[in-house]
Amino acid sequence: MFSSFNFKYFIISAAILLLLALVYAPHSQPLYGDPLKTGTQTKVGVQTEYGLIGTDKFRIYKSQKLEFKYKNMVVTEKINTTAPTTGSLFLLTNWLYQLFFFLITAIAIGYSKPISNFIKKTGSLKYTYNLSGKFIPWIAILALLLATIGIVDGLAFAPTDAKQKDSFRIIYIHVPAAMLCIQAYIVMSIASAIALIWRIKIAEIVAMSIAPLGAAITAIALITGSLWGARTWGTWWEWKDPRMVSVLILFFIYLGIMGLNSAIEDKRTAASATGIFTLSAFVIIPFIYVSVKMFNSLHQGSTQVIGSSDMHPDMARPLIVMFFATMLYFTFALLIRIRGEILIRDRKTQWVKDIALRS
């Protein structure tokens, strides 16, 4: 029975899923309170013409009023949050449950012949090039269709926000882009780890192809966030805000990875160097997540969109569609980059020469 178990694939999938569990489990909703907020913390909101912005009203336990000057705006509220300590127990249970689920999945991948064979085949650059070529048009069509539906729904049919008026419609590109720039880094880190440990070529290519794409998506998140902030907060940029500055650092990390990759001529050495850099800089990701929870931030905390949503369904619907559209766009753009990189790496092989002669 154990002879059919593929230990290598079990370890790879377990490592990936464990990383996912560690990143996403703290985001799961605890049943009581929020351990990150245990104790007394202060959160400052900004009073603008559209109301108080920057506070997380759903997490408020008790509050008190005070006067505070913030640039040209007056801040009027200080919030002391005290969460019950039982929250951490439920969060731990949630973590363990997710870890158990991921472990079972990893064992299944280790045993599954078709999955093992698929992973083995994707290690071949020719196979990945041909397979991605078949999927690219469908992914592009689906991404375009969903983006069109999401944008039209978001701009024309979603109701106007009572406080932010129509400027809130930036949410349909800002939030998916902000989520994607972090997820892209997580995927890049996983690919870098695989490339560093097992020296798998395709993992190196994936990691290197994500960097410019991640930089582009982070730029979208920063620019649209700045435009949104200019209208609602009255400021284009705030250096004291941990969320804004940490995402800017993420943008520079992406640029640094691109620079390091192009500075080293040998592709494999470049992949190793950038892999170490990518994993070292991973520390920014949890910081971006907790920045709005742990520090006084102009930026609001995360809003639940799916399930018992804090948003009106007509506002949440286009956002959900745009989440899927941006994920498909990312996959599409990534596959194009991967295919280009495969051709460069394998340019001396016969199969690439055949493709070149046919083109």
Partner 1 sequence: MNTLTEIFFSGSHWTYVWWAYAITFIIVAASIIIPTVRRKKTLAQIKRKIEKGQQ
Residues that bind partner 1 (CB under 8 A): 151, 155, 164-167, 169-170, 173-174, 177, 212-213, 216, 219-220, 223-224, 227-228, 230-231, 329, 332-333, 336-337, 339-340, 343-344, 347-348, 352-353, 355-357, 359
Distance separating alpha carbons of residues 12 and 210, to the nearest angstrom? 20
Distance separating alpha carbons of residues 109 and 101, to the nearest angstrom? 13
Q: 103 forms bridges with which residues in the sheet?
A: none
**Burial state string for 282-303 with b = 16 or more CB within 10 A and e = fewer than 16:** bebbebbbebbbebbbbbebee
Minimum distance of partner 1 from residue 296's CB (angstroms): 25
Minimum distance of partner 1 from residue 161's CB (angstroms): 9
- Identify which of residues 74 and 230 has a Cβ nearer to partner 1 in the complex: 230
- Identify which of residues 192 and 224 has a Cβ nearer to partner 1 in the complex: 224
Instruction: Report the half-sphere exposure of 40 (CA within 13 A, side-chain side).
Output: 6
- Identify which of residues 182 and 213 has a Cβ nearer to partner 1 in the complex: 213
Distance separating alpha carbons of residues 328 and 331, to the nearest angstrom? 5
- Identify which of residues 274 and 326 has a Cβ nearer to partner 1 in the complex: 326
Distance separating alpha carbons of residues 10 and 167, to the nearest angstrom? 47
Minimum distance of partner 1 from residue 274's CB (angstroms): 18
CB 5 within 8 A of CB 111: yes
- Identify which of residues 52 and 216 has a Cβ nearer to partner 1 in the complex: 216
For residue 68, the 8-state DSSP code is E
Distance separating alpha carbons of residues 281 and 257, to the nearest angstrom? 10
- Identify which of residues 49 and 67 has a Cβ nearer to partner 1 in the complex: 49
CB 325 within 8 A of CB 146: yes
Minimum distance of partner 1 from residue 151's CB (angstroms): 7
Minimum distance of partner 1 from residue 340's CB (angstroms): 4
Minimum distance of partner 1 from residue 173's CB (angstroms): 5
Closest to 288 measured CA to CA, from 328, 348, 247: 247
